[in-house]
Amino acid sequence: MDTVKLSSKGQFILPKAIRDRHHWDAGTEFVIIDRGAELVIKPTRVFPPTELEALETPSVYQGKPLTIEDMKQAVSIEAGNHK
């Protein structure tokens, strides 16, 4: 467990090992959640922004369209492989 000290300006520094582990660089923004006896500090963006492909972009799948039953069967088979 790491300990940090609050400065006279109300600032503290996250230990480098924690910043490195979470890939938090200078400028990373956080949200602070006050839970009474504890504070939760979370980055405002956990994942990089996602951009959708344009509608005219061809689908990767080139076969015949699958039915819902085909998809359910495929999911069931794959789920069985991970038990």
Give domain limits for the chain.
12-47
Q: Which residues contact 42 (CB under 8 A, 6 or more apart)?
A: 30, 31, 33
Q: Please determine, for residue 25, whether its predicted confidence score (pLDDT) is greater than 70.
A: yes
> Is-contact 43 22, C-beta < 8 A?
yes
d(CA 14, CA 5): 10
Q: Please determine, for residue 72, whether its predicted confidence score (pLDDT) is greater than 90.
A: yes
Q: Please determine, for residue 39, whether its predicted confidence score (pLDDT) is greater than 70.
A: yes
Q: Give the phi and the psi of residue 32 in degrees, each rounded to 5.
A: -110, 125
| Residue found by looking up tokens 């999911």 in the block | 75
Q: Please determine, for residue 83, whether its predicted confidence score (pLDDT) is greater than 70.
A: no
Reported pTM: 0.49
Q: Please determine, for residue 46, whether its predicted confidence score (pLDDT) is greater than 80.
A: no
| pLDDT > 90 fraction of the chain, expressed in percent and rounded | 58
| pLDDT score recorded for residue 64 | 87
